[in-house]
Chain A
């Protein structure tokens, strides 16, 4: 088990390195840098001005070198301009000479500086992640219990009317992407056109104080799309368990149906959905980006859109590191949890 986790951690590290390098390479292509220079300087910069702007800030070094600087294994660039001013990655001209560090990358805990928000990337990401964490918490709170309930109710009597109805409902929710359900919810429950102004169409106020009125629609929108999938997986697992021999034995012994479901079937039926729920979390990230854009909730997804559309290199890298880590960690947890929950695998 220890070796397994160690090997998985190694692969994780390699994947994260490869992915950040790809993001780094794509964001550091020359047209992207040119756009960055023009948005940071001014839009009427000549080509020479652009290249001197980029050169002074270390953008024109070879990509592996820049990547090393970002990681903190290569010394940060230091450019001395003709007029004696110094531009450097790790310090400003005000920093005292003896305090100037040579390395500053993520290994030193320095995530860089956001060119869009003019702020430290680390604190920016932490702040936005907190807001999205709040959203995700409520999403999981709504999605997981209702999906499991739907799946178990549908799966306990395969082919019954309840099963048909719930299965159709879960197909409908899996066919409704967040931007469709969000648009319909806002139009029906928050617009003046239908007259039902039950909720707010914007979740901006939920960042400070979330309440039912301004937070329910975004939470529901994200939950619905994932809910159907988890419910269908739970149903499949439940129907499989309900046909098992030991359930038949229990029925023949005369155990009450509710006891069979609650005491005998449930524990075995919940092994597969655990994996599915864990693997669903990275998918929720997509929903988060869409919903945060639609409801104007300034969390992590909103940050991703801002970083990506403005080619804010260091912010984008931090965002992708976070999302890749989320993906890989949930995969790891789902693998370990599966082994832990299923004694048959553990023994063999």
Chain B
């Protein structure tokens, strides 16, 4: 079988897309230069005395740039749609587009529904008013769906991520699979890595690891940061001094040194990460308890059953999160038993737990500082004084007056921080820390691929570009959210 080219039978479009791209770039540069020189458009006085001005040179070039951009988008769409219809006869891009079909359907459905009802969806709906925000959201959603369908439901992947195929070592993208059986996918779409595994499938499955761990770890870091940062900012005084000192202590550590100290197998053996998990993961439980109690403590008939259910559920989740094989901590000297296997409904492999804990640990001091700063600012507002005069408790003021009013910056920072966490996860993988060496996550794959970078770069470039697009998407999303939340 012939190796696939990048675009296959749609190769005729290549000329047009490069042409459109070139026109777009030239027009953009020209527009900037014209903008610096600054030309005023011609003005004409109408008969009724009103003044009309044309767009001038810069407006004209802007028009060209916009149409060139539309052309690029249209041709890119043509590649994808052509690929869905033609499959691998439209080359590697076509093959990938066909494989990613569930993702496209889900993306189109989400966008269609969201844009239709965008006026009723609050801040989320407003996101669809900003182009930057939409592009960012699209990129993020693409990886979320890819991870979900590929990593969770096993739909997109073409080959097993761990099986090695003889003769496929370091093969270039688009090579046919040697010795393929009848039911097998016939190509390695993005080539093979140095252990003759399919790069495309590993990329897809690896995205699920990132898409699950990064937001969850960020969420936990926010729980820790909020639960400690609000009282530090609100009460101030000695509590603030101590907590700030601790936060600065962690922040003064170089991140990589901290990772090396926490994630090495010898430290894992002592059980220190498990103790840290036990401490860090209790914060969501505390947060939820205080949140509900401060709101409903005046209505005991609501409060008591609510708290029993919520604390019970969360505590169960907490215990099963930190329990592994029936033990919370298990080292050579002693064991601390946790939940029995039967009740342990969250499977948390020890190496993932370690990575998770260290990422949460690194992120929470920064969140703490942000929340503390916001609390310091907001506690001087009138509505806080009004609540104090009403006789509300301090936790009610912190969680139901200050926190909702700090949500704008916090949501934006949440998006940015997921991106940063993704980068941190990649860093861990890049140094071969934490996750196993055959794990398909992006950082580990980049680490494995970088040794042959100057001869076979494809195995490292694919995850590198994926990581770049995901983090870029999150940053653009944060930018769009910031713009939209500043607008009102």
* Residues in chain A within 8 A of chain B (CB atoms): 11, 15, 18-19, 23, 26-27, 29-32, 34-35, 157, 160-162, 165, 168, 171-172, 174-177, 179-180, 183-184, 186-187, 190-194, 201, 282, 285-286, 289-290, 293-294, 304-305, 308-309, 311, 316, 319-320, 323-324, 327-328
Q: A27 touches which one: B58, B261, B468, B472 (CB < 8 A)?
A: B261
Q: How far is the CB of A254 from chain B (nearest CB, A)?
A: 16
Closest 8 CB pairs of A and B: A187-B457, A308-B260, A31-B266, A175-B472, A175-B471, A180-B464, A191-B454, A177-B423
Interface pair A289/B461, CB less than 8 Å apart: no
Knowing A19-B253, A180-B426, A186-B453, the reply to whether A29 touches B267 (Cβ < 8 A) is yes
Q: In the complex, what distance in Å separates the CA atom of A183 from the CA atom of B456?
A: 12
Q: How far is the CB of A156 from chain B (nearest CB, A)?
A: 10
A-B contact pairs, 6 of them (CB 8 A): A29-B267, A162-B36, A172-B472, A177-B467, A180-B446, A320-B254
Residues of A within 8 A of B453 (CB): 183, 186-187, 191, 201
Q: In the complex, what distance in Å separates the CA atom of A29 from the CA atom of B256?
A: 19
Q: In the complex, what distance in Å separates the CA atom of A294 from the CA atom of B447?
A: 9
Q: In the complex, what distance in Å separates the CA atom of A316 from the CA atom of B269?
A: 20
Interface pair B35/A162, CB less than 8 Å apart: yes
Interface pair A31/B270, CB less than 8 Å apart: yes
Q: A29-B266, A29-B270, A323-B254 are in contact. List 7 more A-B contacts (CB 8 A).
A: A15-B245, A31-B269, A175-B468, A193-B456, A290-B256, A320-B257, A327-B252
Interface pair A32/B267, CB less than 8 Å apart: yes
Residues of B within 8 A of A32 (CB): 264, 266-267
Residues of B within 8 A of A289 (CB): 254, 256
Interface pair A180/B32, CB less than 8 Å apart: no
Interface pair B32/A290, CB less than 8 Å apart: no
Residue B174 lies at the interface, judged by CB distance under 8 Å to chain A: no
Q: How far is the CB of A261 from chain B (nearest CB, A)?
A: 12
Most buried by A among B252, B261, B468, B474: B252
Mark B448-488 against chain A: 1 for CB-CB distance below 8 A, else 0: 01100111111011001101100110111001000000000
Residues of B within 8 A of A168 (CB): 132
Residue B431 lies at the interface, judged by CB distance under 8 Å to chain A: yes
Residues of B within 8 A of A328 (CB): 252
Q: In the complex, what distance in Å separates the CA atom of A328 from the CA atom of B454?
A: 39
Residues of A within 8 A of B426 (CB): 177, 179-180
Q: How far is the CB of B459 from chain A (nearest CB, A)?
A: 10
Interface pair B454/A30, CB less than 8 Å apart: no
Interface pair B31/A161, CB less than 8 Å apart: yes
Residue B430 lies at the interface, judged by CB distance under 8 Å to chain A: yes
Residue B255 lies at the interface, judged by CB distance under 8 Å to chain A: yes
Residue B419 lies at the interface, judged by CB distance under 8 Å to chain A: yes
Q: Is the interface of A mostly helix, strand, loop or mixed?
A: helix
Residues of B within 8 A of A35 (CB): 266
Residue B248 lies at the interface, judged by CB distance under 8 Å to chain A: yes
Complex: chain B residue closest to A282, CB-CB: B254
Q: In the complex, what distance in Å separates the CA atom of A289 from the CA atom of B254?
A: 10
Q: How far is the CB of A40 from chain B (nearest CB, A)?
A: 15
Residues of A within 8 A of B58 (CB): 161
Interface pair A165/B32, CB less than 8 Å apart: yes
Residue B102 lies at the interface, judged by CB distance under 8 Å to chain A: no
Residues of A within 8 A of B476 (CB): 171
Knowing A191-B455, A286-B255, A320-B257, the reply to whether A183 touches B460 (Cβ < 8 A) is yes
Q: How far is the CB of A220 from chain B (nearest CB, A)?
A: 16
Knowing A32-B267, A160-B35, A179-B464, the reply to whether A19 touches B456 (Cβ < 8 A) is no
Residue B62 lies at the interface, judged by CB distance under 8 Å to chain A: yes
* Residues in chain B within 8 A of chain A (CB atoms): 28, 31-32, 35-36, 58, 62, 132, 245, 248-249, 251-257, 260-262, 264, 266-267, 269-270, 272, 419, 423, 426-427, 430-431, 443, 446, 449-450, 453-458, 460-461, 464-465, 467-468, 471-472, 474-476, 479
Q: In the complex, what distance in Å separates the CA atom of A305 from the CA atom of B455?
A: 25
Q: In the complex, what distance in Å separates the CA atom of A31 from the CA atom of B141?
A: 43
Residues of A within 8 A of B455 (CB): 191-193
Knowing A27-B261, A31-B267, A286-B256, the reply to whether A186 touches B457 (Cβ < 8 A) is yes
Q: How far is the CB of A47 from chain B (nearest CB, A)?
A: 11
Q: How far is the CB of B38 from chain A (nearest CB, A)?
A: 8
Residues of B within 8 A of A179 (CB): 426-427, 430, 443, 446, 450, 464
Interface pair A319/B257, CB less than 8 Å apart: yes
Interface pair B464/A294, CB less than 8 Å apart: no
Residues of B within 8 A of A305 (CB): 256, 260, 431
Q: How far is the CB of A163 from chain B (nearest CB, A)?
A: 9
Q: In the complex, what distance in Å separates the CA atom of A316 from the CA atom of B475?
A: 35
Interface pair A324/B267, CB less than 8 Å apart: no
Interface pair B270/A19, CB less than 8 Å apart: no
Interface pair A286/B254, CB less than 8 Å apart: yes
Q: In the complex, what distance in Å separates the CA atom of A305 from the CA atom of B32?
A: 45
Complex: chain B residue closest to A187, CB-CB: B457
Q: B461 touches which one: A15, A183, A201, A304 (CB < 8 A)?
A: A183
Q: In the complex, what distance in Å separates the CA atom of A45 from the CA atom of B32?
A: 70
Q: How far is the CB of A197 from chain B (nearest CB, A)?
A: 9
Residues of B within 8 A of A193 (CB): 455-458
Interface pair B254/A19, CB less than 8 Å apart: no
Knowing A27-B261, A183-B453, the reply to whether A161 touches B32 (Cβ < 8 A) is yes
Complex: chain A residue closest to B29, CB-CB: A165
Residues of A within 8 A of B28 (CB): 161, 165
Knowing A32-B266, A285-B254, the reply to whether A183 touches B450 (Cβ < 8 A) is yes
Q: How far is the CB of A297 from chain B (nearest CB, A)?
A: 14
Q: In the complex, what distance in Å separates the CA atom of A184 from the CA atom of B255?
A: 23
Residues of A within 8 A of B460 (CB): 183, 187
Interface pair A290/B427, CB less than 8 Å apart: yes
Q: How far is the CB of A176 from chain B (nearest CB, A)?
A: 5
Knowing A165-B28, A192-B454, A323-B254, the reply to whether A15 touches B248 (Cβ < 8 A) is yes
Q: How far is the CB of B253 from chain A (nearest CB, A)?
A: 7
Q: How far is the CB of A225 from chain B (nearest CB, A)?
A: 9
Residues of A within 8 A of B31 (CB): 161
Residues of A within 8 A of B266 (CB): 29, 31-32, 34-35, 311
Q: B252 touches which one: A19, A293, A294 (CB < 8 A)?
A: A19
Residues of A within 8 A of B261 (CB): 23, 26-27, 308
Residues of B within 8 A of A26 (CB): 261-262, 267, 272
Q: In the complex, what distance in Å separates the CA atom of A266 from the CA atom of B481?
A: 29
Knowing A35-B266, A161-B62, the reply to whether A19 touches B249 (Cβ < 8 A) is yes
Q: In the complex, what distance in Å separates the CA atom of A294 from the CA atom of B476?
A: 28
Residues of B within 8 A of A161 (CB): 28, 31-32, 35, 58, 62
Interface pair B254/A304, CB less than 8 Å apart: yes
Residues of B within 8 A of A19 (CB): 249, 252-253
Interface pair B450/A171, CB less than 8 Å apart: no
Knowing A32-B266, A171-B475, A191-B453, the reply to whether A15 touches B467 (Cβ < 8 A) is no
Residues of B within 8 A of A180 (CB): 426, 446, 464-465, 467-468
Complex: chain A residue closest to B268, CB-CB: A31
Q: In the complex, what distance in Å separates the CA atom of A176 from the CA atom of B422?
A: 11
Q: How far is the CB of A114 from chain B (nearest CB, A)?
A: 16
